[in-house]
Chain A
């Protein structure tokens, strides 16, 4: 079998081009300041120096930030527009654990994530292990819960939201939890995430549990309810996505409020209504952190200043998530009108499960959940 000269010749050329065609360029070292160890804005030399350093780095690596989640789409676009820096988005559907794993997997390369947005369980798990670079943003002392979460600023609360049940408006209006047992919901109810892996899924169970009068330490009431739903055929194990919601496969979804807000907007653009019903307030707070080996440390810190500052707070609020800065913004009258329209002025009154309660619930659900909704 002979190979045409064309093939043989082009092989060498292709290989030469290919291997010198890097995906991302390794960033040049920033100036005198080692931004990898900068702990606050003062040490960075002020916001303008930080911006300049970031622009020199040229890129920010984020991970697991879906555009529809707490309005991160606008957040990323806003950051890009404000500073003229590229943003590399990795693995949008990843979990908090995936984020840390990605940083470890790609440690030392230019593809490692710069910043994380993680749940409290994962944040606590890696606290003090040298995974995070502590950094306190300019408005750190006004962020609700920042000092309590991590006094050194290893990770900082960015927003919370509450779990809610979103549903297609054409199905009527849900006024109480037992409405879900009605036959019109047959084959329509889906939960985002499996409670054994996803914090959203677990929080969804907690929400139903609380609505039925249960506590975070005992989720048996929720499990019994889900079993009823499954036996009736109302609950399906499908994992809802934007596509399944838009095409009507999953018209009832239990998910974070700040995700549902995005769905509401999308459906409104299509002339359909998407309503929300919150039987009980269960919160799911998230935290931002900077990777200790971030390939673009200045941009990582600039991102935190942006997202945890007033601009970021407004974007989160419009997305239906309550930013950590919100209480202060409302108190000082700086809360933007659109934000108030979206999430109101209420302080976050949602309760949340502690890491221990989550683990305990998970252990219980390991056998109880499949027994209730499994096949």
Chain B
């Protein structure tokens, strides 16, 4: 069909253009990191890459940051998503205020958020724990703008009021309605929101640097101080690491939602 052919061309062009836009700078980084630098180097080499696995602090930092990401994920699933759904369902007047609240973390640059939240983390460090994992609290707020937007985009296309009515008519409890009926229909929104949250936790640098917590990115920056080549290679390595991590997280295959039917 002509339309299909037109779509295909557009599609290929778009993917090509955006793909280049994103890939070329990354390639330049890779190109630089493998350039021969020392006189001893005879040509392209992976010297600046080989240095990475031998760094001592890296393993612990990775583990810590992943645990932090896990906690943020739990907060998303158990606190944020239900709240967003609840507000959309029962408290429509609060939808815009909630949206504004969720945009707030982005309205303030990270360097200022640190100034505001420092007293709280000082208290936490002295009285609770000095572990970097306590950053999960502030991180779960930092991801709000992105995760909320993702959820909201998914909710926009789903008529949850009808879904909720149907579920309650069929006798489902509120919990079941939210978790078993509504959440599966906004699955993409939840997954995308979670992915970006994981990427944020593993990519956050400013706040943990100022509060002197040894998170993944802080240790990456530390390793990068060896030389320019290593700074670039280790940065690329961290991108690849998170990428692989996200590819391994299964887009959880739930049993197909009962209401995966066109309800419009």
Contact = CB atoms under 8 A, between A and B. Distances in A.
A108 B122 contact: yes
A106 B212 contact: yes
Contact of B180 (A1, A23, A89): A1
Contacts of B225: 66-68, 92
B37 interface: yes
A24 B130 contact: yes
A110 B130 contact: yes
Contacts of B129: 19-20, 22
A106 B211 contact: yes
Interface stretch (A10-18, A122-130, A165-173, A362-370): A10-18
Interface in A183-212: none
Contact of B211 (A63, A67, A111, A271): A111
**Interface residues on chain B, size class:** 35 or more
Q: Is the interface of B mostly helix, strand, loop or mixed?
A: helix
A15 B133 CA distance: 9
A111 B133 contact: no
- Which 10 residue pairs across A and B have the least CB separation, nearest first? A243-B228, A246-B228, A109-B125, A242-B228, A111-B212, A271-B39, A105-B118, A90-B212, A18-B133, A1-B179
A148 interface: no
Interface in B190-237: 209-214, 221-222, 225-229, 231-232
B254 interface: yes
B184 interface: yes
B126 interface: yes
Interface stretch (B13-21, B64-72, B145-153): B64-72
A243 B225 CA distance: 10
A89 B222 contact: yes
Contacts of A247: 32, 35, 228
Contacts of A15: 71
B86 to A, nearest CB: 16
B147 to A, nearest CB: 17
A193 B229 CA distance: 22
A82 interface: no
A131 interface: no
A108 B67 CA distance: 26
A350 B193 CA distance: 56
Contact of B210 (A20, A24, A26, A102): A102
B105 interface: no
A81 interface: no
A246 B229 contact: yes
A1 B254 contact: yes
B32 A243 contact: yes
B122 A105 contact: yes
A245 interface: yes
A271 B38 CA distance: 7
Nearest to B125: A109
Contacts of A109: 122, 125-126, 130
A23 B228 contact: no
B114 interface: yes
Instruction: Please indicate which of the listed interface residues A22, A26, A98, A242 has the most CB atoms of chain B within 10 Å of its own CB.
Output: A242
Given A18-B133, A90-B209, A269-B37, 15 more contacts: A11-B74, A17-B67, A18-B67, A23-B64, A23-B130, A23-B131, A61-B212, A105-B211, A108-B122, A109-B125, A109-B126, A111-B130, A270-B38, A271-B38, A271-B39
